[in-house]
């Protein structure tokens, strides 16, 4: 598979090369190149170099180098860059023009992508945060969420799993829905993104903007309330073609190993277990195989058996360039990751082609094509089972295969390596094509009409086979295929006009989109032997099949007016109307979401002109509504589900009532207010943003419990309210600028307070679901744990407890521990989170150290209590148990069975050295000898160290107890957090 | 260039036409689920009835709380909890039986789900505008639905007393339910079952592949039990007699079936996989809930029944012992027959206590070399082994799948009603009418088959009849509901199953009072019913 991918990739990369030479043939005149640095001599990447009076432009690369075609051989170059003075330099027949840009604190004409357009940073009234661009290069990560975690105030990313190919969960400004999705809406190059986060190759990204407040997100209507992430991919610029390669390779290991008990401790644990049960110890270990290996002195380190050193490699090749009429950006990438748990792996191959053409003076057109191929194939070892194995378990059987039950006759725990004998494919392919045309009729200056058409086709295939070696004595196979078709058509009309000191922008949208999903699946079992794997399900004795399908449509209108007076007073008004097919049949299916925002550029006022310490000062306020589509297709209908039952050996199909529908169901509405202050002092050596927000979400989609007497346990309603209040601030400082040495610090901080205001309209909590009015979502509701009952303690008979049992607070003082003694202990949502980056430059060396933290949350810890399994499995060495002698006040006795259902929640706050990167920019004069225009080499370490009180694998990662699932996570895929060390280089020809 | 412009204009016009504000664009179509409107014809109604059988099985197949099977047995007069899962704990430590109890909640919810699905069928089939279906079909479908509705209300009435009475499906949620008087609930049960007895087919008229569908004698048998509960013993006896005198069933008195040539007895033959169905020779069976291995037959069983695991001993925990077909597969002994059952219940020679029906002895069966010195020798008792490792156990739920030795589920038929019980119901009805000689004769029918000494009128008491039920039906009957129905739970459990020497304190029956003749109404139901009050049963406090 890998082979074909590479081969295909090679052809696809050759093709653009051909185009490139063709394009090159159009270039005439001379080529000017050079390097752009700041006053300290540090290279400036991303500087726009424009040939004055033309549309020919080129960016500087990571090393500050540029190269631009000058058709006539003469002219003037314009160098512009955010935060620096724009510089115009005549060419004067030179072919090398090196320049130094002076910083200009007031040059705030950085252009930022906003919904359905772009805006100057200084004109923005809403809350729009840009992810620091240095997180988008020289960072060896496989997924975008890893790159941006902790970098932006208001954006909380939780890396629940480190399984290769997995993405972190994203939330912007707290959780504002209970049942509906809480992750932000993703827009790539202006079109809704239908894929998964890991479809996106981080190397393709030019910029990422996070839209947070109502003014910024209201234009996304029913999809805006969770915030919006706008991703812009790189596009071509006119000028000399540039070929760039970037790549890295690295090794991965367990960032923290929760070491199981040693063989001796394990034997002692069994003796203590028997004693705790009041049983006599008749043999040294409970199971036959264990006794055999114990007698033979054979021990196994099961974690060693199940894990390995992971490897990760990525290559990206891009070609960009163009003429003054046509620009192109072509790139291909390939990523290969072999996980730290045996059998886990991920491969991604992707190709992007972005093309823009100016066809006539009034017509522009372009395309963005993207193809991604994912592969997570391979049977996998089971890490939880590896941690549970007895050190005296038996790895292999006499025939050399894996022993199915290493602790035989204990059948509860199978060999963690069995998965390696299974066949498994898990693949996805995503094709996205977007085309636009833009019409700027000459008769109406400032008027533009743009038509976007986008289509995304996504297919997935999962198949697997477990045979005799994998503990299926008859052989079982499955094969699932799914496909989703998405289309979007958008008509966008914009009008822009300046008169006197007034500036007006208008944006209007009329759009439609549709999604069509179909999945089919088949399972089969009882094969003659294991030869056919999943390639012929028809060869099985028993076969079962399933399919499912749904469709949705969305119809929208949107209008926005931006008005500014003298770049001092700013006003934004927006409204969007969304109609969604999944809204209930009794509704009119359309929701309206208005917003307003005002801004005041204080720094532009005349009275501030003399206050030289203040470079930038802008006050913003916004208020408005956004929605959450909330409903899944067909969620409003009363439905009956097919069921089966056998009669006379044959299965009959029946139906059972499955859900009482509610045709009144609608979207959720979030109304929010935001006050923001953008500041910059001392020529912007200190700059940042402070924001305060208050968002209330109403009409929450809630599955309200009803008496089962009605025949149903629940009905969906729009009920309840939740509020998120918060403070965010960012501060970026240039601490030291001394010759070749510079030190910069970036800090971001977010405090969010989540609160349920109302649930069912009756003021009642919902204990079953852990929802408490006045408390945060993600409530941890359990007993107040005080310690462990000791021998000699005066244990009241009503407590029903023995020495070694956990001791809880009897809150209501009735002498018993009952459900009424449970209390709100905290929330799984952090109280605050943030990031701290320190960047040091010395000449061509750059070092950046990034710390990320999440504080004030708690969650159940599955690795400190194992119930009755404790006598049958190994447990972490760090986790102890009570005995009458050690009188532990932390760990219960081995006979403790948790009769009250205590959840073992513990604080999972942490501070993590998320990454450290050291890079070296090879000097230009050295490179010129080899005809290379830029080279950076770097090394990076990720997840280097974590400071936490958590006992377990990792405070952030999700580790589920045996047999349980949570969303798409399953205990089968428990996976340790990975520490990686990589080496990479970026090369530009 | 004009060409481009023309193309462009066409594209724009095309777009507007496509997305014009057409109402149908936002109309939703249900693609992969049935809605109520497409189930009102004969195939739809037939499928709805199949749904009731599926749901009925979920009362027996619970595995999400493995202690569910034990809930109905522990804390009564016949077994001890030895390795409880947790759900059954309040059913021997009665101090902890509260309105938050999981088993009471599930019993309640299961019943009302059955009632709602039956109500939908009954309403549809009785709708006057349903003219496309013949009356005979309507009555048959109606009778099946009413049988299951009667069954569900009978469980509710026995377990909880008077409960909210719902006889029509709801279209909108309600939160104003109140408990109906028990008599009213009983009226509905009796009317439903009488309709069912009249309109359900005779089992003799059913083909083999419909033997597991409802037949009229199931309704008669259930009616007999209901009449006993509502203290109308004469009517109960009449219903039992309909079954006994139908000539459709007889007690199994001779060897038969797949293991007829192997050691065994007629009683044990009935419970062997492959022998349990009428078509397999079990002429004693009135209602068999058939099960198939879901690996072989899609939907062969709902969930994974835990009976074998809960009733069977955990003998495989002893080194030198392997799970085996001859031992009934792998058990974990969540409960153990108490000493009263093992040592006092049966007369000598009673077939129902034979080694084929209660296994008491074990021989090492692991042929591995290291066990060669003990292989095939008798397993001695040592330590706590008699509590859950090599404790005696009933063989009725034995089941072994060589392809799945661990066997989380048990894919074996359930004999839910058989003629043996009909005689016991009749005996109880006769006793209640003072016909002790008749009752003795009914019981002697069973004792003759079991080679047990015959009894006479002077032996007959309600306790004797309940003893005989244990002898005949142990492991089959829902012992708790029987003792609740007869009001004997407290007396019998206290007399026969408390203060057991050698049983750990936390496995002893504690706190059992008359309160426990009814289960607590689930607190959740009381709380969610915010517009009216559902009274809690006396003695239960939240």
Which residues neighbour A564 within 8 Å (Cβ) at sequence distance 6 or greater? A123, A502, A503, A570, A571
Contact with chain A for residue B532, Cβ under 8 A: no
Q: Which residues of B touch A652 (CB under 8 A)?
A: 50
- State yes or no: pLDDT of A53 exceeds 80: no
Q: Are B120 and A657 in contact (CB < 8 Å)?
A: yes
Give me the torsion for CA of A227, A233, A239, A245, rounded to 10°.
140
Full DSSP string of A75-100: -EEEEE-TTB--EEEE-TT-SB--EE
The β-bridge relationship of strands A476-499 and A785-788 is: unpaired
Strands, E assignment, A629-778: 639-647, 650-659, 668-681, 686-698, 701-705, 714-718, 721-738, 741-758
B37 versus A398: the higher-pLDDT residue is A398
Strands, E assignment, A383-501: 423-439, 447-466, 476-499
Q: Are A280 and B86 in contact (CB < 8 Å)?
A: no
Q: Are A581 and B1 in contact (CB < 8 Å)?
A: no
**What is the sign, positive or negative, of the torsion defined by CA atoms of B83, B89, B91, B94?**
positive
Do the Cβ atoms of B293 and B216 come closer than 8 Å?
no
Q: Name the residue of chain B whose CA is nearest to A283's CA.
A: B319
Distance from CA of B102 to the nearest CA of A (A): 13
Q: Which residues of B touch A450 (CB under 8 A)?
A: none
Which pLDDT score is estimated for A989?
Answer: 86
Q: Which residues of B touch A764 (CB under 8 A)?
A: 527
Q: Name the residue of chain B whose CA is nearest to A451's CA.
A: B12
Q: Which residues of A touch B316 (CB under 8 A)?
A: 409
Q: Are B528 and A282 in contact (CB < 8 Å)?
A: no
**Closest partner CB to A638 (pick from B19, B36, B174):** B36
Q: What is the pLDDT of residues A890-904, one digit of tens each?
A: 999 999 989 888 999
Per-residue pLDDT, averaged over A411-420, amounts to: 95
B 301-360 → A contacts, CB under 8 A = 301-302, 316-317, 319, 322, 330
At A44, the pLDDT band (50, 70, 90 cuts) reads confident
CA distance A745 to A760: 47
Which pLDDT score is estimated for A83?
Answer: 63
Count of Cβ atoms closer than 10 Å to residue B535 Cβ: 11
**Closest partner CB to B209 (pick from A291, A648, A704):** A648
| Average pLDDT of the residues of chain B | 93
Q: What is the pLDDT of residues A603-641, one digit of tens each?
A: 999 999 888 899 899 999 999 999 999 999 999 999 999
- State yes or no: pLDDT of B418 exceeds 50: yes
Distance from CA of B51 to the nearest CA of A (A): 4
Which residues neighbour A531 within 8 Å (Cβ) at sequence distance 6 or greater? none
Report the SS3 class of residue B52. helix
Contact with chain A for residue B530, Cβ under 8 A: yes
Q: Are B28 and A511 in contact (CB < 8 Å)?
A: no
Q: Are A489 and B108 in contact (CB < 8 Å)?
A: no
Which residues neighbour B400 within 8 Å (Cβ) at sequence distance 6 or greater? B323, B324, B325, B328, B329, B330, B407
At A39, the pLDDT band (50, 70, 90 cuts) reads low
Which among A552, A621, A12 is positioned nearest to A317, based on CA atoms?
Answer: A12
- Least confident segment among A733-747, B20-34, B170-184: B20-34
Report the SS3 class of residue B130. coil
Q: What is the H or E stretch that residue A240 is in?
A: strand A239-254
Per-residue pLDDT, averaged over A500-510, amounts to: 95
B 246-275 → A contacts, CB under 8 A = none
**Closest partner CB to B322 (pick from A409, A555, A638):** A409
DSSP state for residue A922 in the 8-state scheme: -
- State yes or no: pLDDT of A68 exceeds 70: yes
Contact with chain A for residue B276, Cβ under 8 A: no
Q: Are A589 and B26 in contact (CB < 8 Å)?
A: yes
Do the Cβ atoms of A696 and A757 come closer than 8 Å?
yes
Q: What is the pLDDT of residues A296-337, one digit of tens each?
A: 999 999 999 999 999 999 999 999 988 888 999 999 999 999
Q: Are B54 and A549 in contact (CB < 8 Å)?
A: no
Q: Are B319 and A437 in contact (CB < 8 Å)?
A: no
CA distance A483 to A466: 25
Per-residue pLDDT, averaged over B469-497, amounts to: 98
CA distance A875 to A886: 18
Q: Are A655 and B296 in contact (CB < 8 Å)?
A: no
Which pLDDT score is estimated for A21?
Answer: 37
Q: Would you call A400 exposed, middle or buried from its count of C-beta atoms within 10 A (0-12, 13-18, 19+)?
A: exposed
Q: Are A707 and B174 in contact (CB < 8 Å)?
A: yes
Q: What is the pLDDT of residues A534-550, one digit of tens each?
A: 999 999 999 999 999 99
Q: What percent of chain A has pLDDT over 70?
A: 96
- Least confident segment among A41-50, A248-257, A417-426, B413-422: A41-50
Q: What is the pLDDT of residues A171-185, one digit of tens each?
A: 999 999 999 999 999
Which residues neighbour A823 within 8 Å (Cβ) at sequence distance 6 or greater? A781, A782, A783, A784, A809, A811
Q: Which residue has the tokens 């009135």?
A: B286
Which pLDDT score is estimated for A77?
Answer: 87
Which pLDDT score is estimated for B214?
Answer: 98
CB pairs under 8 A between A and B: 245
Which pLDDT score is estimated for A775?
Answer: 96
CA distance B155 to A799: 34
Determine which of A397, A645, A796 to mutate to test the interface with B (most B C-beta atoms within 10 Å).
A645
At B17, the pLDDT band (50, 70, 90 cuts) reads very low
Which pLDDT score is estimated for B22?
Answer: 56
Per-residue pLDDT, averaged over A728-748, amounts to: 94
Q: What is the pLDDT of residues B48-105, one digit of tens each?
A: 999 999 999 999 999 999 999 999 999 999 999 999 999 999 999 999 999 989 999 9
CA distance A88 to B443: 113
Per-residue pLDDT, averaged over A797-811, amounts to: 92
Per-residue pLDDT, averaged over A192-217, amounts to: 92
Per-residue pLDDT, averaged over A383-405, amounts to: 95
Which pLDDT score is estimated for B23?
Answer: 67
At B9, the pLDDT band (50, 70, 90 cuts) reads very low
**Closest partner CB to A639 (pick from B34, B120, B298):** B34
CA distance A642 to A659: 12
Do the Cβ atoms of A514 and A490 come closer than 8 Å?
no
CA distance B123 to B117: 10
Which pLDDT score is estimated for A226?
Answer: 95
At A12, the pLDDT band (50, 70, 90 cuts) reads very low
Do the Cβ atoms of B442 and B483 come closer than 8 Å?
no
CA distance A536 to A542: 12
**Closest partner CB to A655 (pick from B18, B29, B34):** B34
A236 versus B262: the higher-pLDDT residue is B262
Per-residue pLDDT, averaged over A200-210, amounts to: 91
Contact with chain A for residue B31, Cβ under 8 A: yes
Whether omega before A654 lies within 30 degrees of 0, making that bond cis, reads: no
Question: Is ipTM beyond 0.90?
Answer: yes
CA distance B279 to B281: 5
Q: Name the residue of chain B whose CA is nearest to A817's CA.
A: B96
Determine which of B3, B171, B528, B540 to mutate to test the interface with A (most A C-beta atoms within 10 Å).
B528
At A370, the pLDDT band (50, 70, 90 cuts) reads very high
Which pLDDT score is estimated for B492?
Answer: 98
Which pLDDT score is estimated for A237?
Answer: 79
Q: Determine the number of helices (DSSP H) and then strands (DSSP E) in chain B.
A: 18, 6
- Least confident segment among A131-140, A630-639, A646-655, B334-343: A131-140
Rounded to 5°, the CA angle A382-A385-A390 comes to 140
Which residues neighbour B384 within 8 Å (Cβ) at sequence distance 6 or greater? A278, A279, A280
**Closest partner CB to B525 (pick from A548, A648, A707):** A707
Q: Give the up-direction half-sphere exposure of residue A168: CA atoms within 13 A in the CB hemisphere.
A: 21
- State yes or no: pLDDT of A407 exceeds 50: yes
Determine which of A296, A641, A657 to mutate to test the interface with B (most B C-beta atoms within 10 Å).
A657
CA distance B435 to B220: 21
Strands, E assignment, A173-235: 185-188, 191-192, 205-211, 228-233
- State yes or no: pLDDT of A886 exceeds 50: yes
Report the SS3 class of residue A165. coil
Count of Cβ atoms closer than 10 Å to residue A770 Cβ: 18
**Closest partner CB to A706 (pick from B19, B29, B528):** B528
A400: left (phi over 0), alpha (psi -120 to 50) or beta: left
Q: Are B28 and A651 in contact (CB < 8 Å)?
A: no
Q: Are A657 and B117 in contact (CB < 8 Å)?
A: yes
Determine which of B13, B28, B172, B289 to mutate to test the interface with A (most A C-beta atoms within 10 Å).
B28
Q: Which residues of B touch A708 (CB under 8 A)?
A: 108-109, 112-113, 522, 525
Contact with chain A for residue B299, Cβ under 8 A: yes
Do the Cβ atoms of A143 and A198 come closer than 8 Å?
yes
Q: What is the pLDDT of residues A182-197, one digit of tens each?
A: 999 999 999 999 988 8
Contact with chain A for residue B525, Cβ under 8 A: yes
Contact with chain A for residue B8, Cβ under 8 A: yes
The b/e string for A249-274 (b: 16+ C-beta within 10 A; e otherwise) is ebebbbbbebebbebeebbebbebbb
Which among A357, A374, A375 is positioned nearest to A366, based on CA atoms?
Answer: A357
Q: Which residues of A touch B48 (CB under 8 A)?
A: 640, 654-655
At A27, the pLDDT band (50, 70, 90 cuts) reads very low
Which pLDDT score is estimated for A23?
Answer: 36
Which pLDDT score is estimated for A864?
Answer: 93
Report the SS3 class of residue A199. helix
At A103, the pLDDT band (50, 70, 90 cuts) reads low
Rounded to 5°, the CA angle B253-B258-B260 comes to 45
Do the Cβ atoms of B542 and B187 come closer than 8 Å?
no
Full DSSP string of A332-400: EEEEEEE-SBTT-EEEEEEEEEEEEEEEETTEEEEEEEEEEEEE--S----HHHHHHS-TT---B-TTS
Which pLDDT score is estimated for A10?
Answer: 41
Q: Which residues of A touch B212 (CB under 8 A)?
A: 647-648
Report the SS3 class of residue A717. strand
The β-bridge relationship of strands A30-38 and A99-101 is: parallel
How much is the pTM? 0.81
Which among A357, A372, A330, A335 is positioned nearest to A243, based on CA atoms?
Answer: A330
Q: What is the pLDDT of residues B200-210, one digit of tens each?
A: 999 999 999 99
CA distance B196 to B146: 6
| Average pLDDT of the residues of chain A | 91
Q: Are A710 and B112 in contact (CB < 8 Å)?
A: yes
CA distance A604 to A504: 18
CA distance B219 to B422: 12
């Amino acid at each position: 598979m890998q082979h074909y991918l590479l081969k295909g990739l090679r052809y696809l990369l050759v093709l653009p090369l051909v185009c490139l030479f063709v394009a090159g043939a159009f270039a005439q005149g001379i080529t000017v190149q050079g390097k752009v640095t700041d006053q300290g001599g540090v290279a400036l990447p991303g500087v726009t170099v424009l040939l004055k009076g033309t549309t020919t432009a080129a960016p500087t690369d990571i090393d500050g180098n540029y190269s631009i075609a000058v058709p006539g051989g003469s002219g003037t170059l314009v160098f512009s860059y955010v935060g620096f003075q724009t510089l115009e330099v005549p060419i004067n027949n030179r072919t090398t023009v090196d320049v130094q840009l002076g910083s200009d604190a007031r040059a705030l004409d950085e252009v930022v992508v906003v919904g359905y357009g772009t805006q100057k940073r200084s004109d923005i009234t809403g809350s729009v945060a840009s992810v620091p661009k240095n997180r988008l290069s020289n960072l060896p990560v496989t997924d975008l969420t890893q790159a941006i975690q902790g970098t932006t105030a208001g954006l909380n990313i939780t890396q629940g799993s480190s399984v290769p190919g997995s993405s972190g969960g994203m939330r912007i400004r707290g959780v504002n829905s209970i049942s509906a999705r809480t992750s932000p809406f993703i827009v790539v190059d202006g079109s809704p993104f239908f894929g998964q986060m890991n479809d996106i190759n981080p190397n393709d990204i030019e910029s990422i903007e996070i839209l947070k407040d109502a003014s910024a997100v209201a234009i996304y209507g029913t999809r805006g309330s969770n915030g919006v992430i706008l991703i812009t991919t790189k596009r071509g610029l006119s000028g000399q073609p540039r070929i760039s390669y970037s790549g890295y390779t690295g090794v991965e290991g367990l960032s923290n190993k929760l070491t199981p008990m040693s063989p001796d401790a394990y034997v002692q644990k069994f003796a203590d277990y028997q004693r705790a049960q009041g049983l006599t110890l008749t043999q040294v270990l409970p199971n036959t195989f264990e006794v055999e290996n114990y007698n033979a002195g054979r021990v196994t380190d099961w974690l060693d058996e199940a894990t390995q050193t992971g490897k990760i490699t990525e290559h990206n090749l891009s070609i960009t360039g163009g003429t003054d009429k046509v620009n192109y950006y072509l790139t291909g990438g390939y990523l290969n990751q072999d996980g730290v748990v045996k059998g886990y792996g991920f491969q991604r191959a992707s190709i992007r082609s972005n093309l823009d053409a100016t066809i006539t003076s009034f017509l522009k057109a372009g395309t963005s094509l993207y193809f991604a191929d994912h592969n997570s194939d391979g049977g996998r070892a089971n890490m939880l089972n590896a941690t549970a194995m007895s050190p005296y378990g038996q790895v292999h059987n006499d025939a050399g295969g894996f022993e199915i039950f290493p602790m035989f006759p204990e059948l509860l725990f199978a060999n963690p390596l069995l998965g390696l004998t299974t066949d498994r494919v898990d693949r996805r392919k995503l094709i996205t094509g977007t085309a636009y045309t833009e019409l700027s009729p000459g008769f109406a200056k400032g008027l533009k009409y743009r038509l976007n058409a986008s289509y995304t086709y996504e297919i997935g295939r999962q198949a697997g086979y477990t045979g005799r070696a994998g503990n299926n004595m008859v052989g079982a196979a499955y094969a699932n295929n799914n496909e989703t078709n998405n289309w979007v058509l958008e008509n966008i009309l914009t009008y822009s006009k300046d008169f006197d000191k007034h500036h007006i922008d208008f944006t209007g949208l009329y759009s439609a989109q549709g999604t069509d999903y179909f999945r089919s699946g088949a399972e089969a079992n009882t094969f003659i032997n294991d030869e056919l794997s999943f390639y012929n399900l028809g060869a099985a004795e028993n076969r079962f099949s399933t399919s499912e399908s749904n469709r949705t449509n969305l119809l929208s209108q949107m209008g926005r007016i931006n008005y500014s007076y003298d770049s001092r007073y700013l006003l934004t008004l927006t409204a969007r109307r969304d109609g969604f097919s999944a809204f209930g049949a009794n509704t009119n299916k359309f929701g309206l979401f208005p917003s307003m925002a005002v801004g005041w550029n204080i720094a532009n006022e005349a009275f501030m002109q003399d206050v030289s310490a203040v470079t930038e000062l802008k006050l913003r306020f916004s208020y408005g509504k956004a929605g959450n589509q909330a409903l899944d297709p067909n969620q409003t209908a009363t439905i009956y589900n097919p069921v089966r039952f056998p009669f006379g050996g044959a299965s009959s199909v029946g139906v059972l009532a499955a859900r009482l529908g509610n045709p009144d169901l609608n979207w959720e509405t979030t109304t929010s207010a935001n006050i923001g202050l953008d500041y910059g002092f001392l020529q912007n050596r200190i700059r940042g943003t402070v924001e305060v927000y208050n968002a209330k979400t109403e009409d929450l989609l809630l599955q309200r419990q009803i008496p089962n007497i009605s025949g149903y346990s629940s009905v969906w309603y729009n009920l309840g309210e939740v509020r998120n209040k918060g403070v965010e601030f960012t501060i970026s400082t240039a601490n030291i600028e001394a010759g070749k040495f510079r030190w910069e610090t970036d800090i971001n901080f977010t405090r969010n307070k989540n609160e349920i205001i109302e649930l069912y309209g009756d003021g009642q909590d919902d204990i079953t679901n852990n929802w408490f009015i006045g408390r945060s979502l993600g409530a941890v509701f359990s007993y107040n744990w005080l310690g462990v009952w000791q021998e000699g303690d005066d244990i009241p008979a009503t407590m029903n407890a023995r020495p070694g049992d956990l001791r809880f607070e009897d809150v209501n003082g009735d002498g018993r521990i009952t459900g009424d003694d449970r209390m709100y202990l905290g929330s799984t949502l952090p109280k605050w989170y943030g990031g701290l980056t320190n960047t040091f430059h010395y000449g061509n060396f750059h070092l950046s150290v990034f710390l990320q933290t999440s504080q004030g949350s708690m969650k159940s810890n599955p690795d400190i209590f194992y119930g009755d399994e404790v006598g049958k499995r190994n447990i972490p060495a760090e986790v102890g148990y009570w005995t009458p002698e050690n009188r532990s006040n932390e760990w219960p006795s081995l006979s403790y069975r948790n009769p009250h259902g205590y959840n073992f929640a513990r604080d999972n706050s942490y501070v993590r050295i998320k990454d450290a990167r050291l890079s070296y920019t090879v000097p230009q004069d050295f490179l010129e000898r080899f005809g290379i225009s830029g080279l950076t080499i770097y090394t990076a370490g990720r997840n280097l160290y974590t400071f936490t009180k958590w006992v377990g694998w990792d405070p952030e990662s999700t580790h589920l107890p045996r047999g349980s699932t949570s969303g798409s996570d399953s205990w089968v895929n428990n996976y340790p957090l990975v520490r990686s060390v990589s080496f990479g280089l970026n090369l530009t020809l | 260039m004009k060409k481009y412009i023309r193309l462009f204009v066409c594209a724009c016009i095309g777009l507007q036409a496509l997305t014009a504000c057409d109402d149908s664009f936002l109309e939703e179509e249900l693609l992969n689920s049935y809605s109520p409107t497409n189930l009102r014809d004969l195939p739809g109604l037939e499928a709805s009835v199949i749904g009731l059988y599926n749901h009925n099985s979920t009362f027996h197949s619970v595995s999400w709380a493995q202690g569910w099977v034990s809930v109905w047995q522990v804390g009564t007069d016949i077994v001890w909890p030895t390795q409880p899962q947790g759900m059954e704990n309040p059913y021997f430590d009665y101090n902890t039986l509260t309105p938050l109890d999981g088993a009471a909640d599930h019993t309640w919810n299961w019943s009302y789900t059955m009632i709602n699905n039956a109500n939908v069928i009954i309403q549809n089939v009785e709708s006057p505008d349903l003219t496309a279906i013949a009356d005979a079909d309507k009555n048959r479908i109606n009778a099946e639905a009413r049988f299951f509705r009667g069954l569900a209300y009978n469980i509710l009435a026995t377990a909880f007393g008077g409960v909210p009475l719902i006889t029509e499906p709801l279209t909108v949620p309600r939160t104003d339910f109140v408990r109906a008087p028990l008599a009213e609930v009983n009226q509905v049960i009796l009317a439903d079952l009488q309709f069912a007895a009249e309109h359900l087919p005779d089992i003799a008229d059913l083909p083999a592949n419909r033997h597991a569908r409802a037949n009229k004698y199931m309704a008669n048998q259930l009616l007999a039990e209901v009449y006993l509960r509502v203290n109308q013993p004469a009517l109960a006896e009449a219903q039992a007699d309909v079954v006994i005198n139908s000539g459709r069933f007889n007690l199994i008195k001779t060897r038969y079936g797949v293991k007829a040539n192997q050691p065994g007895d007629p009683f044990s033959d009935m419970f062997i996989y492959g022998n349990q169905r009428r078509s397999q020779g079990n002429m004693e069976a009135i209602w068999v809930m058939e099960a198939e291995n879901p690996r072989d037959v899609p939907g062969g069983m709902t969930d994974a029944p835990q009976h074998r695991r809960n009733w069977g001993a955990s003998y495989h925990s002893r080194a030198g012992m392997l799970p085996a077909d001859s031992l009934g597969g792998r058990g974990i002994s969540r409960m153990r027959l108490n000493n009263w059952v093992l040592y006092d219940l049966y007369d000598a020679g009673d077939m129902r206590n034979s080694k084929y029906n209660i296994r008491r002895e074990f021989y090492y069966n692991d042929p591995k070399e290291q066990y060669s010195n003990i292989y095939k020798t008798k397993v001695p008792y040592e330590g706590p082994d008699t509590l859950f490792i090599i404790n005696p156990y009933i063989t009725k739920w034995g089941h072994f799948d060589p392809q799945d030795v661990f066997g989380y589920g048990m894919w074996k038929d359930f004999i839910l009603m058989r003629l043996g019980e009909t005689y016991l119901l009749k005996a109880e009805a006769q006793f209640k009418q003072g016909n002790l000689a008749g009752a003795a004769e009914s019981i002697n029918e069973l004792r003759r088959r079991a080679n047990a000494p015959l009894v006479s009128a002077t032996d007959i008491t309600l306790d004797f009849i309940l003893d005989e039920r244990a002898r005949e039906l142990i492991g089959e009957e829902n012992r708790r509901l029987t003792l609740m129905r007869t009001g004997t739970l407290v007396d019998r459990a206290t007399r026969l199953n408390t203060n057991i020497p050698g049983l750990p304190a936390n496995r002893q029956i504690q706190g059992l009072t008359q309160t426990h003749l009814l289960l607590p109404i689930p607190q959740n139901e009381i709380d969610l019913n915010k517009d009216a009050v559902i009274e809690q049963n006396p003695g239960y406090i939240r």
